[in-house]
Structure 1
Amino acid sequence: MSSPLIRPARTDEYDEIARVWMESWVSTGLAEASNFLLANLRARIRREIEDGWSLFVADDSGTIAAMLALHLPNHYLDQLFVTPACQGRSLGRQLLAFTRTQLPDEIYLRCVRENEKAWRWYEREGFVFEKEEVASATGFMMKCYRWKRQQHTG
């Protein structure tokens, strides 16, 4: 099986991207799927794009296997979600490698504290915990991480 292609999202894919986002978020056990959640995510994608998101998808032969949202001016990895059906195939690692091509020197991210699987993965991938803060939009306690490219002195 070939690796999915990571590419910019198209406007006509936003509804499907919201579905992928919801399915992945629900798979963490921190939310339940609902039409209300799906509608909120659909609206949020459009709002975030207007506010500067660069939105990418992992295209697996025409199926969206994952979504990646970056806010490049702020060096911020905002969202990285892989569909439950595609988890465990190193797709998250591919998306993170792609993120490092877009943000080669420094990356910030926040992860819900209860999503231990995710933040432990980011720690294994070289991100350093900085602080916790409450997300004003959701009320979730967030763990804030930063990755910096190693400066080689010699």
Structure 2
Amino acid sequence: MEIRPWQESDRPFLRTLYLHARREAWPWLDGSDWQLEDFDAATRNERIYVALENGHRVGFASLDQNGNFLHNLFIDPACQGRGIGSALLEHVHKHFTGTGALKCLARNQRALAFYQRHGWHSEATGDSPDGEYVLMHYRLG
């Protein structure tokens, strides 16, 4: 497993991964208007890390500018359950300079359980255009 900063040549694959992984993770949402270019807007001005397994891109994570908000973490649905998400999350933890934060859709029970297993704690809930979310924090050391 290799995790590296993204390169522009990753864009076509990550666009496709982002589109398909969201449809898989959020089946209750109407994804008919989602487009490949949504990746560009969702990661604009963010630090992106790409996970590779045997030289193949299998997932990515993106952090906002200050580095303490995990905005996206998506794994190719065909590659889930192999520790890729855990490796990406551990990599992200190393880049936090303070308490890490993320928002996870409340209906995404699989993701909530994943983050909790990795030391994240629910802090609050809120509403978004995609439904209720849980604000989670990860405290360093």
Superposed pair shares fold, TM > 0.5: yes
Deviations 1:39-73 (A, max 9, x none): 3424414xx32xx3001111223421001101141
Aligned to 1:87: 80
Distance 2:39 2:93 in 1: 26
Tell me, which stretches of 5 or more residues in structure 1 are unaligned? none
Q: Does the 8 A contact of 1:72 with 1:102 survive in 2?
A: no
Percent identity (aligned): 20
Distance 1:72 1:106 in 2: 14
1:15 and 2:12 aligned: yes
Contact 1:8-1:57 within 8 A present in 2 as well: yes
Matches within 5 A, 1:118-133: 118-133=111-126
Unaligned runs of 5+ in 2: none
Distance 1:43 1:104, change over 3 A: closer
Distance 1:42 1:93, change over 3 A: closer
1:47-58 matched pairs, under 5 angstroms: 48-49=43-44, 52-58=45-51
RMSD: 2.0
CA distance change for structure 1 residues 122 and 41 in 2, over 3 Å: closer, same or farther?
A: same
Q: Larger helix proportion, structure 1 or 2? A: 1
Q: State the Cα distance separating 1:94 from its structure 2 match.
A: 0.4
TM-score of the superposition, structure 1-length normalised?
0.81
- 1:37 is matched with 34
Q: Distance in 2 between matches of 1:62 and 1:75?
A: 28
Q: Is the 8 A contact 1:18 1:41 kept in 2?
A: yes
Distance 1:144 1:71 in 2: 15
Alignment match, 2:21? 24
Partner in structure 2 of residue 148 of structure 1: 139
Looking at structure 2, the residues matched to 24 and 31 of structure 1 have their Cα atoms a distance apart, in angstroms, of 13
